Amino acid sequence: MIIVVHFLLIKQNLRFDFLTNAMIQDITTKDRKQFHVNVLGYKNITFEHFTVSAPDESPNTDGIHIGRSDGVNVLNAEIKTGDDCVSIGDGSKNLVSNGVTCGPGHGTSIGSLELFKNEEPVDGVTVKNCTFTNTSNGVRIKTWPGAEPGTCSNIHFEDITATNVSSPIIIDQKYCPRNKCKINEESKVKLRNISFKNIHGTSALPEAVKIICSATLPCENVELADIEITHSGPTGPVVSQCSNVKPKVSGKQNPAPCSAPIPAKPTSAA
Question: Where in the sequence is the domain holding 33, given as residue range(s)?
Answer: 4-254
Is position 74 within any domain?
yes
Q: Which of 135, 162, 136 is nearest to 230 (CA)?
A: 162
Q: What is the pTM of this model?
A: 0.91
- Which of 9-13, 171-175, 180-184 is least confident? 9-13
Per residue in 198-232, pLDDT (tens digit) is 999 999 999 999 999 999 999 999 999 999 999 98
C-alpha torsion 217→118→59→56, nearest 10: 60
Residues labelled catalytic: 83, 106
Over residues 146-156, mean pLDDT: 95
CATH number at residue 79: 2.160.20.10
Q: How many CB atoms lie within 10 A of CB 14?
A: 18
Residue range 12-38: mean pLDDT, rounded? 83
Q: Residue 229 and residue 208: Cα distance in Å, rounded?
A: 7
Which distant-in-sequence residues (6+ apart) come within 8 Å of 234 by Cβ?
Answer: none
- Residue 235 forms part of a structural domain: yes
Q: Is the pLDDT of residue 179 over 90?
A: no
Please, are residues 25 and 4 in contact by the beta-carbon 8 Å criterion? yes
Residue 96 in domain? yes
Provide the pLDDT confidence category of residue 135 given band limits of 50, 70 and 90: very high
Residues 109, 147: contact at Cβ < 8 Å?
no
Rounded-to-integer distance, Cα 230 and Cα 220, Å: 27
pLDDT by residue (tens digit) across 227-254? 999 998 888 799 999 999 999 999 999 9
- Count of domains forming the chain: 1
